[in-house]
Structure 1
Amino acid sequence: MADNYLERKMEEYRSGKGVTYRHRTTPTGARPGTLNVKFPSRRVLVTGGANGIGRAIVKAFCDAGCRVAFCDIDSKAGAATAQATGAQFHPVDVRDAAALERCMDRLLEAWGDIDVIVNNVGVSAFKPLEESSLEEWDDIMSINVRPVYITSRKLAIHRRNMGGESHYGRIINMASTRQSMSEAGTEAYSASKGAVDSLTHALMMSLAPLGITVNSVSPGWIET
């Protein structure tokens, strides 16, 4: 059973009542917890990359020297993120399966392959159960869950067409602590994130022979 500890701490922080800490630095001058990562120029696709966690993921991969593309329905924020990071922006409503697949087709044609997929896109609509609708349930599922299946399936088909040999591959799916620490009025969102976590496990088993590892991350309250 979940309590509201994190929510209370966030409210204290936002109201200025929380403890103020002085940021310390390491001998290199960086803040503790700061990572400076460089690795081979991977080809990365991020869904829902225009804002929030998605934007931070896009920036982190760009900073690490990767070729990054992201899709989002927010054209204005997407253009701003692309300009700030150097990543490619593809305007896509992920509820449109064909549009999401076309986006991947363009990248596969241009890049030859996709090394990393971050299924980040997600929405929430917290409201009392009796005020929610089936249409809202379906909409949240079509945004939070279906794209994970679509992008993973598309990459699997592409890798099979390459001959099924083991190549570098990573899929990271954004779940949530709400999958197991829920609260009233979050039925659709919590169910969708639980589905993402379960789907991650199934994909892990299915894609292992292709050399693709699949993991999920469950953020709590977070400020990027």
Structure 2
Amino acid sequence: MFKDSVVIVTGGAQGIGKGIVLAYAQNSANVVIADINDDLGQQLEKDMLAQGLPALFVKTDVTKEQDIVYLMQHTVEQFGTINILINNAGKFQHKSPYDVTCEEWNYLLQTNLTSAFFCAREAAKVMRNNTRGGAIVSLASTRAEMSEPYTEAYAATKGGIVALTHALARSLGPDRITVNCISPGWIETGDYKALRPIDHTQHLSGRVGVPEDIAQACFYLTNPNNNFVTGINLTVDGGMTKKMIYED
């Protein structure tokens, strides 16, 4: 499906991003791993190449515009174009709103939201020259629609991703670029076997999610044959946000 496509995944060296990287590579795409963690990025590139999977690691701090510009330029130098961008890089914060500093607030916005805009813009400059345009997918969160205490900055960035998505879809549509986002629910990136039965059964799907579930959603939204789908927020949460919960 994605043979010879050029895919960039930010935050691609670990967690959900790593799962997305591997899924595209296993479907014959040329995958660029963009991550600030040099050790994890280089190791993943090495492991993938050893398995015959196409991979290129580019150390990238998505809070720095110059790093983003270099990421796109280096990708084009290596592969000739960019077909797909997955904006996955992000940080979580759990802290009382009474204690969050201005610096912490701005850092989270820069990492989770501002970077998604600049990555999309720089990738789009390349994609608009492709015959079939391109596809951009950003990772939002179900926390854009619901919250736990002390997650204001994170929720704000993810709500911003949803709004940015439909705005960019409108602006980039004439260039044949689709822009969508995915709101994951509980996606376990650690020890799946350590989860309790209640962790699984509270989901309508009967299980906690895994990174491959998000990769499959990315496949749907970046398949060139699905270019009628743009501007949407696709919730992938095992049905958790559809449960009605009453408290005694």
- TM normalised by structure 1 equals 0.78
Contact 2:34–2:58 (CA<8 Å) still a contact in 1? yes
Contact 2:83–2:127 (CA<8 Å) still a contact in 1? no
Q: Please give the secondary structure, in 2, of the residue aligned with 1:95.
A: coil
Q: Aligned partners of 1:166 and 1:63: how far apart in 2?
A: 24
- Give 1 or 2 for the bigger CA radius of gyration: 1
Question: 2:103 maps to which residue?
Answer: 135
Question: 1:171 maps to which residue?
Answer: 136
Contact 1:41–1:65 (CA<8 Å) still a contact in 2? yes
Contact 1:166–1:209 (CA<8 Å) still a contact in 2? no
Cα deviations by residue, 1:128-178 (Å, 9 ceiling, x for unpaired): 111111110000011001121112111233345x4xx75241101000000
Question: 2:74 maps to which residue?
Answer: 106
Q: How does 1:12-51 map to 2 (within 5 A)?
A: 38-51=1-14
Q: Aligned partners of 2:122 and 2:29: how far apart in 1?
A: 21
Letter in 2 for 1:158: V
Contact 2:83–2:135 (CA<8 Å) still a contact in 1? yes
Cα distance, 1:57 vs structure 2:
0.4
Question: 1:97 maps to which residue?
Answer: 65
What is the alpha-carbon root mean square deviation over aligned residues?
Answer: 1.4
Question: 2:148 maps to which residue?
Answer: 183
Contact 2:82–2:127 (CA<8 Å) still a contact in 1? no
Q: Aligned partners of 1:157 and 1:185: how far apart in 2?
A: 37
Q: Structure 1: give runs of 5+ residues left out of the alignment.
A: 1-37
Q: Aligned partners of 1:139 and 1:89: how far apart in 2?
A: 24
Letter in 2 for 1:191: A
| Count, aligned residues | 184
Letter in 2 for 1:193: K
Contact 2:36–2:61 (CA<8 Å) still a contact in 1? yes
Q: How does 1:79-94 map to 2 (within 5 A)?
A: 79-86=42-49, 87-94=55-62
Of the candidates 184, 198, 206, which is equivalent to residue 219 of structure 1?
184
Q: Aligned partners of 1:159 and 1:39: how far apart in 2?
A: 16
Post-superposition, which runs of at least 4 consecutive aligned residues in structure 1 deviate over 4 A? none
Q: Please give the secondary structure, in 2, of the residue aligned with 1:130.
A: coil
Question: 1:204 maps to which residue?
Answer: 169
Q: Aligned partners of 1:171 and 1:200: how far apart in 2?
A: 9
Contact 2:127–2:134 (CA<8 Å) still a contact in 1? no
Contact 1:48–1:54 (CA<8 Å) still a contact in 2? yes
Q: Please give the secondary structure, in 1, of the residue aligned with 2:32.
A: strand
Q: Structure 2: give runs of 5+ residues left out of the alignment.
A: 50-54, 189-210, 212-248
Q: Identity over the aligned pairs, expressed in percent?
A: 38
Letter in 2 for 1:43: V
